[in-house]
Structure 1
């Protein structure tokens, strides 16, 4: 299954980002004494002109924070554009990478960074704007619904979201039987690791170490786990392309919401906005997606501000008998 984004992204990926566009304005001033709200959105895919125009409609929320949960775009230009706008509107911005940020596009084949180096380039851009990444210390969000420790994480996937009868070495061929193949197989390189599975294993070990240390250092404080890929296989429901599931996470994070004291787990990747509860943890999928996937909202007079998802304080916890029911969300 070809990804329609890639051709568009490839045409613009090498566009230069001029020094004049670097951040110069400070974040908007906060109102003293007013508790902030923590919002999230992912998969804004700035390769699409419609999505770029939409993201520019973000309104200032100087007391609030914003989580950008991966798939901003494929180029440095996309990251600069998103971080510049987000930090101009929000007091604090968090980012976790998606697969698209990690792509090395065909136009960059000879000179572009690959794998871990590409990720490091993204982190460096984020730091130019004061955006917090999985490489930074987790910070305590003390706004409304807090205090909570906000933890951006980078986990990748290991093809384990597959039926028991499908062997790891057969997983991609199993997806191809239904004409499904992620663009990652061609553009997301694992360098210096031998495979994406090996890179995923290294990321999981490092992330678990950091999360365990953070929870131990903050006894009783809930966390907000912020990553692009879903942490649980049972939250991956892709009706039109079910075998795409193998590129959607790893079974090794199944219990992280309990293990690391999560109040909320925030993810994207699926382009299907939904809210779920597992145990006492709320799971939020917060994708914007491709233009056709939010066109209905636009037709109803909504814009990107209506598509931000409130993470904290968030909705009221439903009664126990309703927590197993997925709430499908058309907007925020």
Structure 2
């Protein structure tokens, strides 16, 4: 029994949809989907119909793309309402979300709790000499501006940073209540540490990549592994003896050189030692 992870599926691209359908069955294994499945409900519905037929259990955390409001219809949901709509769709397919009780990993090995998180970002992934008020302009000065500024609405919160702060406090309380004899697998779309945002071509995009409020969560909450996506740069990194897995698939041109999509699945548990 294994735990796998994949993120940034971007199923609006037909090549990625066909690749997902080509995944072979893993009837005994679990799968983490760490956000950016798509922008529309039909893309998530397709993902869950496809993946729940292939894996014993699927877990999901939202990426920024799922939270976008792309419809111009007055009835289109925004912010927290949009997120809850996504949670309801996941539950209809038996997919676990950040709003569900954290499951214990049923595989072999020490006791572990899988913790899907939804934390967002607060523009704090920036140099110390850049103010919070001037952060977005600082990014724009290098011709960088995230589409979230137009499509990811924070309703009913006054800002995305305020929504992030509320999610961090809510999640911290849940993690602090976990039994102290269990390790964790922390799962979030956005990186938990600023140092892991390695974007050589667009370094100022870091603003939309996480919050410094989670810098110590890998040690504070006894993480064995931290699973994230968002960066389109799959990698295995280590900090304080904790394994950090960036598990993005990405746009077709970013991953097809690797061959079959099965080669992009990252084994989280049992995993490999340092």
Superposed pair shares fold, TM > 0.5: yes
- Are 1:82 and 2:47 an aligned pair? yes
User: In 2, are the aligned partners of 1:62 and 1:90 still within 8 Å (CA)?
Assistant: yes
Q: TM-score, normalised by structure 2?
A: 0.98
- Are 1:97 and 2:58 an aligned pair? no
Q: CA RMSD in A?
A: 0.9
Equivalent residue number for residue 142 of structure 2: 178
CA deviations over 1:268-288 (Å, ceiling 9, x no partner): 000001111111210000000
d(CA) in 2 for partners of 1:159, 1:86: 33
User: In 1, are the aligned partners of 2:11 and 2:38 still within 8 Å (CA)?
Assistant: yes
Equivalent residue number for residue 199 of structure 1: 163
- Are 1:57 and 2:18 an aligned pair? no
Give secondary structure in 1 for the equivalent of 2:17. helix
- Are 1:70 and 2:35 an aligned pair? yes
Equivalent residue number for residue 209 of structure 2: 248
- Are 1:291 and 2:248 an aligned pair? no
Equivalent residue number for residue 227 of structure 2: 266
Unaligned runs of 5+ residues in structure 1 are 1-35, 318-332
d(CA) in 2 for partners of 1:193, 1:150: 28
- Higher RCO (Cα < 8 Å, 6 or more apart): 2
User: In 2, are the aligned partners of 1:146 and 1:313 still within 8 Å (CA)?
Assistant: no
Equivalent residue number for residue 113 of structure 1: 77
Deviation at 1:58, TM superposition (A): 1.3
User: In 2, are the aligned partners of 1:158 and 1:247 still within 8 Å (CA)?
Assistant: yes
What is the number of equivalent residue pairs in this alignment? 274
d(CA) in 2 for partners of 1:178, 1:145: 47
Equivalent residue number for residue 311 of structure 1: 268
Deviation at 1:146, TM superposition (A): 4.6
d(CA) in 2 for partners of 1:283, 1:113: 33
Equivalent residue number for residue 163 of structure 1: 127
d(CA) in 2 for partners of 1:55, 1:173: 38
Deviation at 1:109, TM superposition (A): 4.4
Superposed, 1:214-233 pairs within 5 Å as 214=178, 218-233=179-194
d(CA) in 1 for partners of 2:272, 2:200: 26
d(CA) in 1 for partners of 2:110, 2:18: 32
CA deviations over 1:111-147 (Å, ceiling 9, x no partner): 2100000000000000001110000000111214453
d(CA) in 1 for partners of 2:18, 2:52: 17
Larger radius of gyration: 1
Equivalent residue number for residue 22 of structure 1: none
CA deviations over 1:262-305 (Å, ceiling 9, x no partner): 000000000001111111210000000011101311xxxx2111
User: In 1, are the aligned partners of 2:111 and 2:181 still within 8 Å (CA)?
Assistant: no
CA deviations over 1:306-330 (Å, ceiling 9, x no partner): 110000011122xxxxxxxxxxxxx
d(CA) in 2 for partners of 1:119, 1:128: 14
Give secondary structure in 2 for the equivalent of 1:66. strand
- Are 1:140 and 2:97 an aligned pair? no
Deviation at 1:110, TM superposition (A): 1.9
Give secondary structure in 1 for the equivalent of 2:114. strand
Q: TM-score, normalised by structure 1?
A: 0.81
Give secondary structure in 1 for the equivalent of 2:134. helix
